[in-house]
Structure 1
């Protein structure tokens, strides 16, 4: 069974493409995370978790869901992390998580996809995004073949920068940068409420027709990138930047 979390579509694309290649069921974790649903899941086939990389590790909301949810049946579990550059040493912490859950860790595959974190970086043009996705197709096919053959992923040796990124920077990055204080809506907001429904943590509400953000944010960029009028900004960081939704 393939289970995925995706804010702007990169991990969704990888999950669904992998599902096609290995002919397996694909489940979106959005409703389960949003609804605090930690009920058991069962699969006779190996588990495959697909998620974006947040500060060189799996998103904390996905990690929490995995910790609290019992995965029954098959004990093998693969991880596929999408990223704009590198997943750092994320595999180390996923292996620890698997040991705690009594699961057999089958490796963590890095798949580079178009950058979407506009709270810090710029996004590629549609043409460049499609080129990056095309380059990723081969890796997705190799990844799916490993899963289909029951082989563990071959993970490269991680260097000191990877280890520092996942071990030192990640714990600092979350409390310092991952918050919703800088989000605001422009006058071009049409009060459609899409940002409310797209937030996996129910962190957005409408007041007098305009979105208001609470304190529980994971920086998935779904609200700002999926706004049909591009009426949401993140301080000065997002101004002038193209919004990104996976074109595939």
Structure 2
């Protein structure tokens, strides 16, 4: 079984590529998380968890969901983490999660996808993003082959900097950076409500025909990336930056 969380579509795409190759059930955790539902899953084959990388770790909301869910059947667990550059020292935290959930950790596969953390980084243009996505497919195919063979993923070399980023920096990130306070809406907002639907934590409401953000944000960047008229900004950081929302499917990348 493939279980994925995706904010702007990269991890959804990765999960679908793997699904096409291992021919197993693929489930989007978004509806579970948005509706506050715990999962109760059974799989005869290995579990494959696909998600983005938030500050060199698994997103905390996805980790919380996995810990609150029940898993029966096969106890092998693979992790596939999409990222703009690297996943740091995420492995020991995934092993700890597996221990809490009763899984056998089978490794984590890093998959480079288009950067979408517009609050801090530049987002590639469409042509560049297309190339990055296409280049990610072989890595996903390799991961799928190892999953089919029930073989562990290759180990990653980890530096001291990686340990600092996934540990100390990750904690600072959630304490000081992850907040909705800098989101703002411009006058060209059409009140379509797509940002409301896209928020996994129900942190956005429409008030007087404009979105209003609450205090429960995970910085998935779905709202700002999905806005059809670019009416949402994140302070001054997102101004004049590209927006990227991955709508591709595996067959789109077939030459």
Secondary structure of the structure 2 residue equivalent to 1:38: coil
1:29 aligns with 29
TM-score by length of 2: 0.96
Q: How does 1:125-140 map to 2 (within 5 A)?
A: 125-140=125-140
| Whole-angstrom CA distance in 2 between matches of 1:167 and 1:143 | 26
Over 3 Å counting, the alpha-carbon distance change for 1:233 and 1:126 in structure 2 is: same
2:201 aligns with 201
Q: How does 1:31-110 map to 2 (within 5 A)?
A: 31-110=31-110
2:167 aligns with 167
1:147 aligns with 147
| Whole-angstrom CA distance in 2 between matches of 1:161 and 1:78 | 24
Secondary structure of the structure 2 residue equivalent to 1:117: coil
List gaps (5 residues or longer) in structure 1. Answer: none
Superposed displacement of residue 155, structure 1? 1.5
Superposed displacement of residue 39, structure 1? 3.5
- Could you tell me whether the CA contact under 8 Å between 1:77 and 1:103 is conserved in 2? yes
TM-score by length of 1: 0.99
- Could you tell me whether the CA contact under 8 Å between 1:126 and 1:247 is conserved in 2? no
2:229 aligns with 229
| Whole-angstrom CA distance in 2 between matches of 1:124 and 1:101 | 37
- Could you tell me whether the CA contact under 8 Å between 1:56 and 1:166 is conserved in 2? yes
| Whole-angstrom CA distance in 2 between matches of 1:120 and 1:129 | 17
| Whole-angstrom CA distance in 2 between matches of 1:116 and 1:183 | 16
| Whole-angstrom CA distance in 1 between matches of 2:157 and 2:238 | 35
Q: Could you list the runs of 4 or more consecutive aligned residues of structure 1 that deviate by over 6 angstroms after TM superposition?
A: none
- Size of the aligned set, in residue pairs, is 248
2:251 aligns with none
- Could you tell me whether the CA contact under 8 Å between 1:204 and 1:211 is conserved in 2? yes
| Whole-angstrom CA distance in 2 between matches of 1:218 and 1:195 | 14
1:121 aligns with 121
